[in-house]
């Protein structure tokens, strides 16, 4: 995102009408943000501080509880299990998405024939509705006749019950890595394009091989882009619901904070009763993490602009 501004000095007498015009033009967005972002957020936080049940949700007489629901949620063993699973899901997803994406970006940066077209084809998993990707992976990981187990069978390995119990976390991680590679590839590729080619030539003359060139030039110079890619990857992976839900309905070990909030808020999957307050507690925790990351993101972006 470009934020370089070219301030043209304006004559002082014109300032006022321009300010009014600016407010007029920005008004739709400001109203929109108040109504469609701030109010759901306030709603969410308020629900986490009251005890909402199905009944009080309708009557609107939920009693104020302060941080009680927070304490209850944090003291359940489910919370800690879910947190652990969420961290495994997020960290493994972004580590593999990033390293595979980077390897592919370096590969495609060599400008061979068809490289642009193939790079475009790599975008498909990212642009496909996650709903559809989830469905495909669910079928491929089917225990009886799924392709993955057939493939394992070729190597004489036993079939794996991918979508259940302790395997479900691995199943959704694999699908999610596949889903996230294109995004990492595209961003890292554009980062590579900005590295001056002369540096590589100089390094070649100094006798550096390809491996050294990568670790001494590419990787250090990509650091700001890496930072932003990982940050965005973290935020987007943390809030993932659709792919997990389609594949496993958040059962077994594949439950994350986001899918947990989803099932409690809307009474889906294993959560037979709707738990608005508990769901919004988990939601509020996710908001706080998002806020923290937005700040880090801005800071990282500011640092990149300083360069």
Partner 1 sequence: MQHRSTWWKTAIGIVLTLIMLFPVYWMINISFTQRRSIRSGDLVPMDFTLDNYTAAFNSQLPYLGTSLIIALGCVIVTLLIALPSSYALAILHIKGRKTLNFLLIVAQMIPAVVMALGFYQIFSDLNLLDTLPGLIVADSTIAVPFAVMLLTGFMTGMPRSLIEAAQIDGASQWTVFTRIVIPLSRNTIVTTSLFSFLWAWSDFMFASTLDSGGGKMRPITMGIYDFIGSQNQEWGPMMATAVLASVPTALLLIVAQKYVAAGVTAGAIKD
Answer for which of 140, 152, 195, 199 binds partner 1 (CB under 8 A) is 140
CA distance 45 to 129: 30
- Give the SS3 label for residue 64: strand
Q: Is 145 in the site for partner 1 (CB under 8 A)?
A: yes
Q: How far is the CB of 261 from partner 1 (least distance, A)?
A: 5
Query: Whose Cβ is closer to partner 1: residue 85's or residue 229's?
Result: 229
Task: Map residues 253-292 to x or -, x wherever contact with partner 1 holds by CB under 8 A.
Answer: -----x--xx--xx---------x--xx--xx-xx--xx-
Structure tokens at 82: 């879910």
Q: How far is the CB of 154 from partner 1 (least distance, A)?
A: 11
Query: Whose Cβ is closer to partner 1: residue 111's or residue 209's?
Result: 111
Q: Is 37 in the site for partner 1 (CB under 8 A)?
A: yes
CA distance 209 to 214: 9
Q: How far is the CB of 162 from partner 1 (least distance, A)?
A: 14
Strands (E), the chain: none
Structure tokens at 40: 């759901």
Q: Is 178 in the site for partner 1 (CB under 8 A)?
A: yes
Number of residues that bind partner 1 (CB under 8 A): 106
- Give the SS3 label for residue 197: helix
Subset of 46-105 contacting partner 1 (CB under 8 A): 47, 57, 104
CA distance 136 to 153: 20
CA distance 51 to 66: 9
Q: Is 299 in the site for partner 1 (CB under 8 A)?
A: no
Subset of 205-224 contacting partner 1 (CB under 8 A): none
Calculate the alpha carbon distances from 115 to 106, 107, 108, 109, 118 in Å. 12, 9, 6, 8, 5
| Stretch touching partner 1 by CB under 8 A, among 38-46, 63-71, 76-84, 163-171 | 38-46
Q: How far is the CB of 69 from partner 1 (least distance, A)?
A: 14
- Give the SS3 label for residue 50: strand
Q: Is 150 in the site for partner 1 (CB under 8 A)?
A: yes
Query: Whose Cβ is closer to partner 1: residue 191's or residue 252's?
Result: 191
Plot region of 262 (φ>0 → left; ψ -120 to 50 → alpha; else → beta): alpha
Q: Is 33 in the site for partner 1 (CB under 8 A)?
A: yes
CA distance 47 to 50: 5
| Stretch touching partner 1 by CB under 8 A, among 83-91, 135-143, 164-172, 212-220 | 135-143
């Amino acid at each position: 995102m470009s934020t370089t501004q070219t301030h043209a000095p304006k004559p002082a007498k014109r300032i006022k009408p321009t300010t009014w015009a600016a407010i007029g033009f920005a008004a739709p967005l400001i109203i929109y943000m108040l109504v469609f972002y701030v109010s759901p957020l306030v709603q969410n936080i308020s629900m986490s501080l009251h005890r909402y049940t199905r009944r009080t949700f309708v009557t609107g007489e939920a009693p104020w509880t302060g941080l009680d629901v927070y304490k209850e949620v944090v003291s359940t063993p489910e919370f800690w299990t879910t947190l652990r699973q969420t961290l495994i899901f997020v960290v493994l997803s972004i580590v593999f998405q990033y390293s595979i994406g980077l390897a592919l970006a370096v590969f495609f940066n060599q400008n061979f024939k068809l490289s642009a077209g193939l790079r475009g084809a790599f975008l498909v998993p990212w642009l496909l509705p996650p709903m559809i990707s989830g469905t495909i992976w669910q079928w491929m990981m089917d225990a009886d006749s799924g392709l993955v187990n057939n493939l394992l069978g070729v190597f004489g390995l036993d079939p794996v019950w991918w979508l259940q119990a302790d395997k479900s976390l691995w199943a959704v991680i694999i699908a999610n890595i596949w889903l996230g590679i294109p995004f990492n590839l595209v961003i890292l590729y554009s980062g590579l394009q900005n590295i001056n080619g002369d540096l590589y030539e100089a390094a070649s003359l100094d006798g550096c091989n390809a491996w050294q060139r990568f670790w001494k030039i590419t990787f250090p110079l990509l650091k700001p882009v890496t930072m932003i890619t990982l940050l965005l990857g973290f935020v987007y992976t943390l809030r993932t619901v659709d792919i997990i839900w389609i594949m496993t309905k958040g059962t077994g070990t594949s439950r994350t904070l986001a899918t947990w909030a989803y099932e409690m808020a809307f009474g889906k999957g294993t959560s037979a009763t709707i738990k608005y307050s508990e769901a919004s507690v988990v939601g509020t925790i996710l908001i706080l993490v998002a806020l923290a990351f937005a700040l880090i993101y801005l800071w990282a972006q500011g640092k990149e602009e300083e360069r």
